[in-house]
Amino acid sequence: MVSLDGAKHGRTAQEAKDTLQSLTDLRPVAAVVLGSGVDLLEGLQDAVSISFKDLFGISPQVEGHSGKVTIGVLDYEGVKKPVAVFRGRFHLYEGHPWQAVTLAASCVVACGIPNMILTNAAGGLNLDFNVGDLMVLTGYRDHLSPEWRQKGLVGAVMQEPTDCKNALTEKLIELGQTLHQKDKGFRALRTGVYAGLLGPSYETMAEVEMLRRLKADAVGMSTVPELLTCKGTQTQACAVSVITNVWKPDEAMGGHEEVLEASKAASKRLDKLFREAIITL
Amino acid sequence: MRYAKRLDFTGTLDKQEWYSPSEGLYDQATKDLIRNQDKAELVIVVDRAYNCADPSQAHLVVDHINLTGDNPLVGPNDNAVGPRFPVVNNIYLCSADLIDQEETWSIGNPLGKLPTGIAAGVKAGVRLDDQEWQTVKGLGADFYCYNLVQCMILAAHRGLPVVGIALPEGAQLDEQMMIALVR
């Protein structure tokens, strides 16, 4: 892994872009952001890696987030595509400002990477979901923008979910259907609305019920800032949630370890889905 | 007898027995008080409640919805106090939990007789208009408060159960209730 002096590199999207592009001549067709415990797209060829600390000047502080960017060539079924993999992200609940939380996405946009695929670990609100399901986001609820931190969330809950479907979303859904038809062991993908909350405490049962009434299918503490950052840019973004638990009445809620365990089990299917998708980009 | 941290945000209770922040709002001192590692086994919070269906009496809080847009645990976590991602379900002590307390049996557990409800925590000082309140009510809230939710999250992080009392404007805690809470 390339080691740089974090104090002298990164901190702005433009600086991060310059640093990344000085490391390699590869120009990724997609950037993939991996959330809590999601581990995939290993074995890239001609890979170079750099820590978040060296690239952005700060590091994630949450278990399950290694905080490293790797750029390399994905070689899958005879097709080669350059890709950037961000292992970890910054969260508002860590105390990072909005600018830091959106820094990786801003860097991807600044680099002109045309596709961004986000992942996260999420709690399932939809009672049809099972632990380990993958949900492609077709919409999201923003409950963590700076505006809501300032005003409170009453205005946010009065809004409808934001649609985030695009060609990349459709591609993932179609590929998921194909993989499921070929192999019944590959669970059918779910689609739905993700509610992005500030955290870090998990939801109460009253909040779970509220989110269900607000038409959310899964809930987490990330992803929405990155989707908002890519909105209206040349970078097309989509996101997939790994359902790590399902909120059901009279069932105890697990902790962060459960989240990490469920993420690992679903990572294999997610890895296949992403490899299939990226080689078509 | 269980030692409790007693917080009053209504400014109506005896300041000798209750901690009451100067502005009547959750502040850093409140946070420090709850996080302080002492022998406390629970936290009792009395907060002002707005839009209660029955404004004449106190309500026992059984759950909450955080609409403040904030969380007191944002920032680096102190693992000595509690986990990074605390589970906050079932942290409110309800009437069933309280009814067998030896300390209150002689006065018939007045807490157990209170109506119960779900509190929405909103930004301090914000008064909801009719449309906003109908939305919040439609999402499951029975009334809204300014301070209770932050206290509850901090208590949950610290591993302490909470007795949450929502007191509508003009309503007061009766004497037996006060005895039960202080005991």
A9 pLDDT exceeds 50?
no
Domain that holds residue A176: 6-278
Residue A223: CA count within 13 A, CB half-sphere: 32
Note whether B83 contacts A: Cβ–Cβ < 8 A: yes
Residues of B in contact with A153 (CB under 8 A): 66-69
pLDDT in tens, A193-225: 999 999 999 999 999 999 999 999 999 999 999
- Report CA-CA distances (Å) from A218 to A59, A172, A233, A246, A268: 27, 18, 26, 9, 21
Does 3.40.50.2000 match the CATH number of domain B4-182? no
Note whether B125 contacts A: Cβ–Cβ < 8 A: no
Would you say A52 and A277 are in contact if contact means Cβ atoms under 8 Å apart?
no
- Given an 8 Å threshold on Cβ–Cβ distance, is A200 in contact with B65? no
Range 9-38 of A in CB contact (< 8 A) with B: none
Please give, one letter per residue, the 3-state secondary structure of chain B: CCCEEEEECCCCCCCCCCECCCCCCCCHHHHHHHHCCCCCCEEEEEEEEECCCCCCCCEEEEEEEECCCCCCCCCCCCCCCCCCCCCCCCCECCHHHHCCCHHHHHHCCHHHHCCEEEEEECCCCCCCCHHHHHHHHHCCCCEEECCHHHHHHHHHHHCCCEEEEEEECCCCCCHHHHHHHHC
- Given an 8 Å threshold on Cβ–Cβ distance, is B67 in contact with A62? no
A36 pLDDT exceeds 70?
yes
Pairs of residues, one from chain A and one from chain B, whose beta carbons lie less than 8 Å apart: 112
Report yes or no on A1 lying in a domain: no
Partner-chain residue, chosen from B64, B71, B122, that has the shortest CB–CB distance to A152? B122
| pLDDT score, position A256 | 60
Report yes or no on A263 lying in a domain: yes
Instruction: State the Cα torsion A33-A36-A39-A45 to the nearest 10°.
Output: 30
Q: What is the pLDDT along chain B (183 residues), one digit of tens a residue?
A: 458 899 999 998 888 889 999 888 899 999 999 988 888 888 999 999 999 999 999 999 999 999 999 999 999 999 999 999 998 887 887 655 555 555 555 556 677 778 999 999 999 999 999 999 999 999 999 999 999 999 999 999 999 999 999 999 888 888 878 877 776
Residue A179: CA count within 13 A, CB half-sphere: 22
Partner-chain residue, chosen from B67, B76, B87, that has the shortest CB–CB distance to A61? B76
Would you state the structure tokens that stand for residue A149, as one six-digit string? 């931190």
Domain count, chain A: 1
In chain B, what are the domain boundaries? 4-182
Q: Is the pTM of this model over 0.95?
A: no
Would you state the structure tokens that stand for residue A97, as one six-digit string? 């400002």
Would you say A15 and A61 are in contact if contact means Cβ atoms under 8 Å apart?
no
CA A49 to chain centre: 19
ipTM score assigned to the predicted complex: 0.92
Residues of B in contact with A92 (CB under 8 A): 74
| pLDDT score, position A210 | 97
A91 pLDDT exceeds 90?
yes
Helix (H, G, I), strand (E, B) or coil at A169: helix
| pLDDT score, position A259 | 64
Mutate: best of A93, A153, A159, A219, partner B, most B CBs <10 A: A153
Note whether B71 contacts A: Cβ–Cβ < 8 A: yes
Cα(B103)–Cα(B41) distance, integer angstroms? 14
Residue partners of B60: CB distance under 8 A and separation at least 6: B94, B95, B111, B114, B115, B116, B117, B163, B164, B165, B166
Mean pLDDT of all residues belonging to chain A:
90
Alpha-carbon distance A192 to nearest alpha carbon in chain B (angstroms): 20
DSSP A194-221: EEE---SSPPPHHHHHHHHHTT-SEEES
pLDDT in tens, B126-160: 999 999 999 999 999 999 999 999 999 999 999 99
Note whether B170 contacts A: Cβ–Cβ < 8 A: no
Task: List, in sequence order, every residue forming a beta bridge with B5; answer none if it has no partner.
Answer: B43
- Given an 8 Å threshold on Cβ–Cβ distance, is B74 in contact with A95? yes
- Given an 8 Å threshold on Cβ–Cβ distance, is A94 in contact with B76? yes
Alpha-carbon distance B7 to nearest alpha carbon in chain A (angstroms): 21
Query: Where is pLDDT greater, at A2 or B92?
Result: B92
Alpha-carbon distance B122 to nearest alpha carbon in chain A (angstroms): 6
Note whether A201 contacts B: Cβ–Cβ < 8 A: yes
Task: Give the CA radius of gyration of chain B.
Answer: 16
| pLDDT score, position B3 | 82
Nearest residue of B to residue A207, measured between CA atoms: B65
Residues of A in contact with B71 (CB under 8 A): 93, 198-201
User: What is the rounded average pLDDT of the residues A236-265?
Assistant: 76
List the CATH number of the domain containing A118: 3.40.50.1580
The DSSP output letter for A143 is -
| pLDDT score, position B97 | 58
Residues of B in contact with A263 (CB under 8 A): none
Nearest residue of B to residue A96, measured between CA atoms: B75
User: What is the rounded average pLDDT of the residues A162-168?
Assistant: 97
| pLDDT score, position B87 | 86
Cα(A171)–Cα(A169) distance, integer angstroms? 5
